[in-house]
Homo-oligomer: A and B are copies of this chain.
Amino acid sequence: MTPGARRVLAAASRLFYERGIHAVGVDLIASEAGVTKKTLYDRFGSKDQIVVEYLAARDERWRAFVAERLARVEPGSADRVLAVFDASRDWMAESSPKGCSMVKAHAEISDASHPAYEIIIGQKQWMLTLFTDLVREYAAPRADELARTLMILHEGALVAHGLGIFPDPAGHARDRAAELLAASC
């Protein structure tokens, strides 16, 4: 990726997350990136493509972030699940004050044929599979059911964080997950 393209993607990512995808135009993105529209279209071809690369990059960074946190914890321990919740809390504190970018994008992209759709759904399916794998690893009974509960707790914490109704929902969800895991050993 060229320096100009990197600046375009960085500016678009910030603007899409802060103001919404439909609310941000390509002229603004180019201007904020310090680039002409010609460069923007030479590199990405369309606004939709910038949206796709914004979500794909964020998805990739999140998965790497989680993988790095999981690598610190011994497999087979219930702490592995808690490490995911801890990762979410840190991730939100540092780069997601307004909630999950995938959920926000899902609210704006109605058409399931949009190329960004599969990225959004793909990340959520990956999270459910991850929870399922982690509780199976931990040898919990009724693993699928437990994984779905963890998924609901996790998504709920993300949304509650974005709404700002009460402080530290991710920490709260983590503590509830810990109790669940302790009870189902």
Chain A residues proximal to chain B, CB less than 8 Å = 18-20, 22-23, 98-99, 103-110, 120-121, 124-125, 128, 145, 148-149, 151-160, 162-166, 169, 172-173, 176
Contacts and interface: CB of A to CB of B under 8 A. Distances in A.
Contacts of A120: 163
Quickly give the copy total for this chain: 2
A57 B184 CA distance: 43
Contacts of A165: 121, 124-125, 128, 151
A88 B75 CA distance: 37
Given A152-B160, A156-B151, A107 B110 contact: no
A159 B169 CA distance: 15
B160 A176 contact: no
Majority secondary structure, A binding face: helix
13 contacts: A18-B110, A19-B110, A20-B22, A20-B110, A22-B108, A98-B110, A99-B107, A106-B162, A106-B163, A145-B172, A151-B160, A153-B156, A155-B156
B23 A108 contact: yes
A160 B103 CA distance: 10
A107 B163 CA distance: 10
